[in-house]
Amino acid sequence: MNALQEEILQLKKDKNAVILGHNYQRKEVQDICDFLGDSYGLSVQATKVEADMIVFCGVDFMAESAKILNPQKTVLLPNLKSMCPMAAMVDVEGLRGFKAENPGVPVVSYVNTSAAVKGETDICCTSANAVKIVRSLPDEKIIFVPDSNLGLYVQRYVKDKEMLLWAGYCPTHVDIHLDALKELKSTHPDAEVLVHPECTPDVIDFADFAYSTEGIIRHVVSSPRKEFIIGTEANMNHRLRKEAPGKMFYAVDAAICPNMREITLENVRDSLLRSQHKVELSDEVIAKARVPLERMLEAGRQD
| Domains parsed from the chain with CATH numbers | 3-83+260-280 (3.40.50.10800), 87-169+285-301 (3.40.50.10800), 176-251 (3.40.50.10800)
End-to-end Cα spacing for the chain: 38
Q: Tell me, what's the pLDDT at 1?
A: 79
The dihedral through the CA atoms of 57, 58, 60, 62 has a sign that is negative
Pair 260, 55: CB distance under 8 Å: no
Q: Tell me, what's the pLDDT at 40?
A: 86
The HSE-up count of residue 11 (CA atoms within 13 Å, CB side) is 23
Pair 240, 222: CB distance under 8 Å: no
Pair 194, 231: CB distance under 8 Å: yes
Report which of 151, 157, 71, 75 is spatially closest to residue 112, judged by C-alpha positions. Answer: 151
Q: Tell me, what's the pLDDT at 301?
A: 54
Q: Tell me, what's the pLDDT at 34?
A: 96
Model-level pTM? 0.94
Distance (Å, whole) CA 31 – CA 28: 5
Q: Tell me, what's the pLDDT at 82?
A: 97
What are the pLDDT tens digits along the chain (303 aa)?
799 999 999 999 999 999 999 999 999 999 999 999 998 889 889 999 999 999 999 999 999 999 999 999 999 999 999 999 999 999 999 999 999 999 999 999 999 999 999 999 999 999 999 999 999 999 999 999 999 999 999 999 999 999 999 999 999 999 999 999 999 999 999 999 999 999 999 999 999 999 999 999 999 999 999 999 999 999 999 999 999 999 999 999 999 999 999 999 999 999 999 999 999 999 999 999 999 999 999 887 543
Pair 146, 166: CB distance under 8 Å: yes
